[in-house]
Amino acid sequence: MILPWIPLLALLGVVVPLLTRQRGRRFCSLATAAPAILALLLVFSQVPALLAGDLPRFQLAWVPQLGLDLAFRLDGLSLLFVSLILGIGLLILLYAHYYLEAHEPFARFYSFLMLFMLSMVGIVMADNLLLLWLFWELTSLSSFLLIGFWSHWTDARKGARMALTVTGAGGLALLAGLLLLGDMAGSFDLGVVLESREAILADPRYPLMLVLVLLGAFTKSAQFPFHFWLPHAMAAPTPVSAYLHSATMVKAGIFLMARLHPAIAGSEAWELIVTLTGMATLLYGAWFALLKTDLKAILAFSTVSHLGLITVLLGIGSPLAILAALFHILNHATFKAALFMSAGIIDHETGTRELGRLGGLRRAMPVTALLTSLTAAAMAGVPLFNGFLSKEMFFAEAAASPLLGGLSWLLPVLATLGGILSVAYSLRLVHAVFFKPARKAPPKSPHEPPRLMRAPVELLAALCVLVGLLPVIAEVPLGLAVEAVLLTPLEFHLAIWHGLNLPLLMSVIALIAGVLLYALHAHLRQFGRQFSPMDARLIFEGAVQRLMTWSERLTVRLENGSLQRYMSWLLGAALLLGAIGLLQLPSLAGARPTQEADGILLLGAALMIFGALGTVATHRYRLISLLMLSVVGLVVSLTFARFSAPDLALTQLSVEVVTMILLMLALFFLPQKTPRESSAGRNIRDLGLAASLGMVVASLNYAVLTRDNHGISDFFIANSVPGGGGHNVVNVILVDFRGFDTLGEITVLALAGLAIFKLLNRLRLFMPHSDGEGRVWSPDRYPLILTSVSQALLPLALLVSAFIFLRGHNLPGGGFIAGLITAVALILVYMARGVEWTQQRLDFQYQPVAIAGVAIATLTGLGSWLFGRPFLTSAFGHFHIPAIGDIELATAMLFDLGVYLAVVGATLMILANLGKLTTPHRPSKEEKH
């Protein structure tokens, strides 16, 4: 149970700085360090178990359907990386405490840093591929925040964006790769995956999976040709560069390759891709490290180069190569983090990182000069430093690798070349900064940094020397890590002296030639100048801009703001899909005989068609067109009545009248005539679309009606009474079988009502003083006849509404129709009596009504949980009430009440508020009830 606490403590560390920021930076730094120290202690507490041969694991099902578990493990490899992440993280925290300026938001910085620490710890401890990927993405996000920390600076923003794009794209490839891998292995559990090497290698999808996973690893670890983001990520504050871009995040790709090594490595494809990519990266990075003049850029390219070196070793893949890779990970993390921090100190104390303005600093900063020299020597691979040991192992493995067959001599030669370059740029770094006389004075007069700011560098430099002199101390952690990668223990011994052999010769050549190369450095730079400078950022930004323009153009084509265009896309898609469905039918007509057409039907059809055509023909005269449309609506509801769909007929009628009122309200503010706008071409398009859609829909209807369909309707008819307790199947479907849909619909209705209410807020529209033909309005605002009739109608309408509502479960009716009737009856009062009069008598807002409706419906649904049933299970029973007799009550009735209230509230919210626009009672912010 200790394992989950390690990431949890890191998670705690994310919150702590934000909570303690008021107490000053010193307190905040200490409080942030505390969880990390505790986590590190917890990690060390597991070492005895690991040494005893146990594998601490923790597993908690998270989304078992996806195979995603909250699973952690702490094997040797995780141990190595977790110690590195937490240990260097703590040093970085100490360093950042002094590095950040007083005015900078240090708490936010710490919080981002700890978030990053959490995600790295997650990656290296994850025992589940999907969990690993989640943390992987979290590192991309948190590093984006860290690189862009100085967000006022455009370089920082662009660098952050580039890093996020490259590593994010790689992360997507990795997800695809890991999904494939999990599928091949049959589980996302890391233990299972690592054991399924045979199945994975034999799978035909192996090459695809390999490429995808390697894409993820290469982008993260800045391998050629995805290396370009790393130098630009140097726009980050130096603690971030030291932590993310030397010690940890860029090692995540390396870690992934090492982690999955037992499962996916060993094939020829792996060896070729990984080794050659690594070698290209090694040389490319080293060459540019030699040419750059910015201190951090040199370190960035040298990091790229060293990552390439480790990748080569993982590609070679022999047990000793793995050992060398892990050893170099450790060594590189120590000397490169120290070098970055030194660079930060120099930058901090002199105000510049340009080699041209630095020089002769050994007098002003003797200790920093010593520390930098020591760590640079480790980077160069000078004997008696830790870098020497792993580099010599690298030379040995490169020389021994049988890869490339007859050209196998190429690897050691290229490796030596990389070594030469590495010596040259390390030498240049130290010499140009500390020993060469300065050509120009730095902006600030240099001096030593605060004692404790240097402490992390001192510690790491000491480690470089210590491991270099006594390599035995690294044997225990490396042994555990190698065992985790190879799945078997490896007998090995780290020593400084192996006798006079080929690797030693290569080291000697690298040292001598490196010094010579630096001596000829001026010529090299001249040579380098002949190439036109290639700024990766410009290329990248250009590509991003092009992509943006291209997608904008595409978007504008599809989504140009014209409703007609959207409609045509929608209808066109429906047309296409409907037509495809029809094409697959053997014949249009089914087995069912057609019904005899009588005179009533023919006339009804004729009226409907005439109404529809009339609507289109008169569409420029809006009111006439609307009246024509009413004819269609009326005939449609008569058709529903004729063909045994009384519920539909009632609904159609009430919706019809609500639509009419709404349009009358809206039409007042709109022009009476539609101007002639459509071009002939567009008319033809619309006509074609409408006609073909009509034909397809008619054919679909014909096909459906002439066939015996035994779909789900039989189930509803059979179960309506026993399951829902109602004889009206339509209503039982609405409030019971598909109650969840209805709940969604009334929620949307209430939301739409609220949105319209908000939109009407303080809206002032032009009010015409005469009708379309120029006649002034009649002076009679509230005609007497209308007033009297409406008053008589209101109670009757409410009675009908109650009647329709109550009978709804067994006979045609229900909450929706009843709600519309109530709303329309109330609107009639508004029309007949005016807002002032009605407001006095109906003194309440409609928003709460709608919300109460949705709440009642939701609570009814939740109520079934009290009885241990799923959401919205309905219950019903028969009750005997004296004088009234036997009645049936169902919870669905309560749900229907919610529907009723939601409909009343939403309809009135829309109609009444639209009506109030012309009165002093219009919705406005000032008005408080």
Partner 1 sequence: MLDTALWISLTLVLAALALNVYRLTVGPDMPDRLLALDTMYVNSIALIVLLGLWLNTKTYFEAALLIAMLGFISTVAVCKYLLRGDIIE
Task: Give the footprint of partner 1 on this chain (CB under 8 A).
Answer: 599-600, 603, 607, 610-611, 614, 623-624, 627-628, 630-631, 634, 637-638, 641-642, 644, 646, 649-650, 653-654, 656-657, 660-661, 664-665, 667-668, 767-768, 771, 777-778, 780-781, 783, 786, 790, 793, 796-797, 800, 804, 811-813, 821, 824-825, 827-828, 830-832, 834-835, 911-912, 914-916, 918-919
3-class SS of residue 403: coil
d(C-alpha 535, C-alpha 844), whole Å: 67
Q: Which is nearer to partner 1, 626 or 855 (CB)?
A: 626
Bridge pairing between strands 57-63 and 68-73: antiparallel
Residues in the chain: 929
| Assigned token pair, 554 | 């595409």
- Judged by CB, which is closer to partner 1: 221, or 728? 728
> What is the nearest approach in angstroms of partner 1 to the Cβ of residue 784?
13
Q: 662, 911 in Cβ contact below 8 A?
A: yes
Measured from the CB atom, is 186 or 783 closer to partner 1? 783
- Smallest distance from partner 1 to CB 906, Å: 17
Distance CA 70, CA 55 (A): 17
d(Cα 178, Cα 827) in Å, to the nearest integer?
Answer: 61
CB of 641 to partner 1, least distance (A): 5
Nearest approach in angstroms of CB 614 to partner 1 is 6
Whether the CB-CB separation of 918 and 767 falls below 8 Å is answered with yes
The answer for 345, left when phi > 0, alpha when psi is -120 to 50, beta otherwise, is alpha
Q: Which tokens hold the place of 135? A: 């943390």
Q: Which of 244, 827 has the CB closer to partner 1?
A: 827
Give strand pairing partners of 69.
61
Q: What is the DSSP letter of 621?
A: B
Q: What contacts 305, CB < 8 A, 6 or more positions away?
A: 281, 282, 283, 284, 285, 286, 289, 418, 421, 422
The answer to whether the beta carbons of residues 460 and 92 sit under 8 Å apart is: no
* Per-residue DSSP letter, 189: B
> How far is residue 635's CA from residue 13's CA, in Å, rounded to a whole number?
70
Q: How far is the CB of 186 from partner 1 (least distance, A)?
A: 60
- Nearer residue to partner 1 within complex by CB, 410 or 600: 600
Q: How far is the CB of 905 from partner 1 (least distance, A)?
A: 17
Check if the beta carbon of residue 867 is closer than 8 Å to that of residue 710.
no
Measured from the CB atom, the residue of 100 and 601 that comes closer to partner 1 is 601
Q: Which is nearer to partner 1, 90 or 804 (CB)?
A: 804
Nearest to 421 by CA among 399, 396, 393, 391: 391
The residue behind tokens 């042994």 is 479
Burial class of 860 by CB neighbour count within 10 A (0 to 12, 13 to 18, 19+): buried
- Closest listed residue to residue 715, CA positions, set 685, 689, 736: 736
Minimum separation from the CB atom of position 782 to partner 1 (A): 9
- Name the residue nearer to partner 1 (CB basis): 383 or 834: 834
Using a 10 angstrom Cβ sphere, with 0-12 exposed, 13-18 middle and 19 or more buried, the burial of residue 738 is middle
Nearer to partner 1, 524 or 657 (CB): 657
Shortest approach of partner 1 to residue 746 CB, angstroms? 21
The least distance separating partner 1 from the CB of residue 924, rounded to whole angstroms, comes to 17
Sign of CA dihedral 76, 81, 87, 88: positive
Q: Which is nearer to partner 1, 552 or 836 (CB)?
A: 836
Minimum Å gap between C-beta 884 and partner 1 is 22
Shortest Cβ 837–partner 1 spacing (Å): 11
Burial of 318 per CB tally in 10 Å (0-12, 13-18, 19+): middle
Give CA–CA dist 308/283, Å, rounded: 8
Contact call for residues 868 and 712 (beta carbons, < 8 A): no
Residue 892, Cβ density class (10 Å: 0-12 exposed, 13-18 middle, ≥19 buried) = buried
Smallest distance, partner 1 to C-beta of residue 910, A: 12
Report the distance separating Cα 501 and Cα 573, nearest Å: 73
312: which 2 tokens? Answer: 């080569």
Q: Between 571 and 667, name the residue whose CB sits nearer to partner 1.
A: 667
Q: In the complex, what is the shortest distance from the CB of residue 731 to partner 1, in angstroms, rounded to a whole number?
A: 13
Q: Tell me whether residue 420 or residue 653 sits nearer to partner 1 (CB atom).
A: 653
| Closer CB to partner 1, 565 or 921, in the complex | 921
How many C-alpha atoms does 645 have within 13 Å on its Cβ side? 11
The whole-angstrom separation of Cα 273 and Cα 417 is 20
Closer Cβ to partner 1, 413 or 666, answer by number: 666
In angstroms, rounded to a whole number, what is the distance separating the alpha carbons of residues 758 and 249?
48
Q: How far apart are CA 57 and CA 405, in angstroms?
A: 42
What is the smallest separation between the CB atom of 637 and partner 1, expressed in angstroms? Answer: 7
Residue with Cβ nearer partner 1 (346 or 650): 650
Nearest distance in Å: CB 755, partner 1:
20
Distance CA(574)–CA(168), nearest Å, equals 36
CB of 695 to partner 1, least distance (A): 25
Comparing CB distances to partner 1, the nearer of 2 and 623 is: 623
The structure tokens 């008819």 sit at 717
**Shortest separation between residue 812's beta carbon and partner 1, angstroms:** 6
Nearer to partner 1, 544 or 607 (CB): 607
* Two tokens, residue 704: 């459906």
Nearest to 246 by CA among 153, 358, 338: 338
